[in-house]
């Protein structure tokens, strides 16, 4: 069965799902998106993702021409159309078609696209044995330019970092902010474990308010694991007992080496394994049925 893609209320076969070359999403990266997962017929953290999409759009003064409830219905409809129970949803809202100038006022109507597909970011081996990552030199955007909290279609800051990671022969990179503090990886938030406590950089370090990050923080509170949103340096990462990354697509992935330093004993840690197991339990209950 060919994949059906939702564009502005209609379904198109994968090969026919196209947008205009005058769409400002393409011309300027002017638009917002979300990556959402479903687990066995449940849209995980549905409200959180939809809220973040509308907040990103609001920050760009991009008015999404449907209510949040209608958006959830459109997502459900696309999942049903594709008969998918376990999917990765890419929800995109662009500024729409305009002319070749920047002016968003010339774009009459945002384009809404919903793709439901599968995603596997890393081979299973990395989940079993842990990732190796490096620090790269591209700084995370500062709030005064493109705020990292906006999940926009302009991901060049992250792509530049990803290119550096690939050049270094690894899959992921630690991005620092303009002050040299740890921000996040190219598409994932960072956590460390030290002496039984969890640490993650605060939002003001220049990170996306990750929904998986939020889920891990909630699990920590529930399990009475001390959790600190604290400014971190590379030194703190090097000397952590454990490290892991969080993201919708990656879920929770352990890190065992950074900048050629072993993290902890260089093996996937107990706390990380525990959190992975708790996270999987959460995916079975926290979401909207479709």
From the list 12, 22, 33, 35, which residue makes contact with ligand PMP (rule: CB under 6 A)? 35
Shortest gap between Cβ of 243 and ligand PMP (angstroms)?
15
| 210: contact with ligand PMP by CB under 6 A | yes
CA angle 144, 175, 241 (to 5 degrees): 130
Pinpoint the alpha helices (H) of the chain. Answer: 24-28, 46-59, 68-81, 124-129, 156-167, 211-222, 234-238, 270-283
| 171: contact with ligand PMP by CB under 6 A | no
From the list 23, 30, 171, 184, which residue makes contact with ligand PMP (rule: CB under 6 A)? 184
Which region, judged by CB under 6 A, interacts with ligand PMP, from 21-29, 56-64, 196-204, 208-216? 208-216
Q: Is the Cβ of residue 172 or residue 188 nearer to ligand PMP in the bound state? A: 188
Q: Is the Cβ of residue 97 or residue 150 nearer to ligand PMP in the bound state? A: 150
Q: Is 151 a catalytic residue?
A: yes
C-alpha–C-alpha distance, residues 237 and 87, integer Å:
33
Shortest gap between Cβ of 10 and ligand PMP (angstroms)?
28
Residues 6+ apart with CB under 8 A from 208: 148, 149, 151, 184, 189
Identify the DSSP state of 179: T
| 247: contact with ligand PMP by CB under 6 A | yes
Q: Quick one: which of 54, 29, 75 has its CA closest to 149?
A: 54
Q: Which x/- pattern, by CB under 6 A, does the window 138-167 give for ligand PMP?
A: --------------------x---------
Size of the site for ligand PMP (CB under 6 A): 15
C-alpha–C-alpha distance, residues 255 and 217, integer Å:
18
Half-sphere exposure of 97 (CA within 13 A, CB side): 6
- 22 and 98 Cβ atoms separated by less than 8 Å: yes
Q: Could you list the residues that contact ligand PMP (CB under 6 A)?
A: 35, 158, 184, 187-189, 208, 210-213, 246-249
Active site residues: 151
């Amino acid at each position: 069965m060919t994949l059906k893609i939702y564009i502005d209320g209609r379904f198109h076969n994968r090969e026919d799902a196209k947008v205009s070359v005058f769409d400002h999403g393409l011309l300027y990266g002017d638009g917002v998106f979300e990556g959402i997962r479903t687990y066995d017929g449940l849209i995980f953290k549905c409200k959180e993702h939809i809220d973040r999409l509308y907040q990103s759009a609001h920050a760009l003064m991009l008015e999404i021409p449907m209510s949040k409830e209608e958006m959830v219905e459109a997502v459900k409809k696309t999942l049903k159309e594709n008969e998918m129970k376990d999917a990765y949803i890419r929800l995109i809202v662009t500024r729409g078609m305009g002319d070749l100038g920047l002016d968003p006022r010339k774009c009459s109507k945002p384009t809404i696209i919903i793709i439901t597909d599968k995603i596997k970011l890393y081979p299973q081996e990395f989940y079993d044995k842990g990732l190796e990552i490096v620090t790269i030199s591209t700084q995370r955007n500062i709030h005064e330019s493109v705020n990292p909290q906006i999940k926009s279609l302009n991901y060049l800051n992250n792509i530049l970092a990803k290119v550096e990671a690939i050049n270094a022969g690894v899959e992921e990179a630690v991005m620092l902010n303009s002050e040299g503090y740890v921000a996040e990886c190219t598409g994932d938030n960072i956590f460390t474990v030290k002496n039984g406590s969890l640490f993650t950089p605060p939002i003001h370090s220049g990170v996306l308010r990750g929904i998986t990050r939020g889920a891990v923080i909630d699990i920590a509170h529930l399990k009475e694991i001390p959790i600190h949103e604290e400014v971190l340096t590379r030194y703190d990462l090097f000397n952590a007992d454990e490290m892991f990354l969080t993201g919708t697509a990656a879920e929770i992935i352990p890190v065992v080496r950074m900048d050629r330093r072993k993290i902890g004993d260089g093996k996937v840690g107990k706390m990380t394994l525990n959190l992975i197991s708790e996270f999987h339990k959460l995916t079975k209950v926290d979401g909207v049925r479709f």
